[in-house]
């Protein structure tokens, strides 16, 4: 007679070390970059951020970011198959004195959203001013300039700052204190 086989015992594994707030914040920053690049929609981003803040171990965080490429704001990740052997995307821009080849500047989604909101607000104010001027048969004081002017200047400077790139004195978190 043969002896009954013993069931295979799973190897005793040591518990995985717990993570801290720093690791959670790094994962949330990575998710935020992926969201800004359009790799995650708002609902999925929200769910992953909530899970990241509730994560206890590194493997919990790994599951949240495993399908996302590693990227930074200065060097966004691009799928290798899509960019293999292709030159960088170029656009033609009109400048005084003729055409000039230039690289395409991709502005962040939040900045484009601010410009669209600004354009909508200014347009609404202009229409209201025009209706009032036509209905009174007189050009009234051009008050929409107080809506369009200050915010337009602020947005223009912010757009130029995005175009120039991050300043060496600025940090990603906006905290001026040295780390």
Specify the pLDDT at position 62.
86
Alpha carbon distance 112, 83 (integer Å): 25
Specify the pLDDT at position 166.
62
Specify the pLDDT at position 131.
94
Task: Say if pTM beats, i.e. exceeds, 0.85.
Answer: no
- Tens-digit pLDDT string for the chain (179 aa): 555 565 555 566 778 888 888 888 888 888 988 888 888 888 888 899 999 989 888 888 888 888 888 754 444 444 444 445 555 444 444 444 444 445 556 778 888 889 999 999 999 999 999 999 999 998 899 999 998 999 899 999 988 888 887 654 344 444 444 54
Specify the pLDDT at position 106.
73
């Amino acid at each position: 007679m043969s002896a009954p086989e013993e069931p295979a015992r799973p190897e005793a594994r040591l518990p995985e070390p717990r993570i801290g707030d720093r690791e959670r914040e790094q994962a949330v920053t990575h998710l935020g970059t992926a969201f800004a690049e359009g790799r995650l929609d708002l609902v999925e981003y929200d769910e992953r951020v909530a899970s990241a803040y509730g994560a206890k171990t590194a493997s919990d965080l790994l599951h949240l970011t495993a399908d996302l490429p590693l990227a930074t704001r200065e060097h966004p990740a691009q799928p290798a198959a899509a960019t293999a052997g292709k030159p960088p995307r170029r656009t033609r821009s009109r400048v005084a004195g003729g055409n000039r080849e230039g690289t395409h500047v991709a502005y962040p989604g939040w900045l484009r959203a601010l410009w669209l909101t600004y354009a909508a607000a200014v347009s609404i104010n202009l229409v209201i001013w025009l209706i009032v001027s036509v209905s009174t048969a007189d050009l009234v004081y051009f008050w929409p300039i107080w809506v369009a002017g200050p915010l337009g200047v602020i947005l223009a400077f912010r757009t130029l700052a995005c175009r120039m790139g991050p300043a060496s004195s600025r940090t990603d978190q906006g905290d001026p204190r040295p780390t």
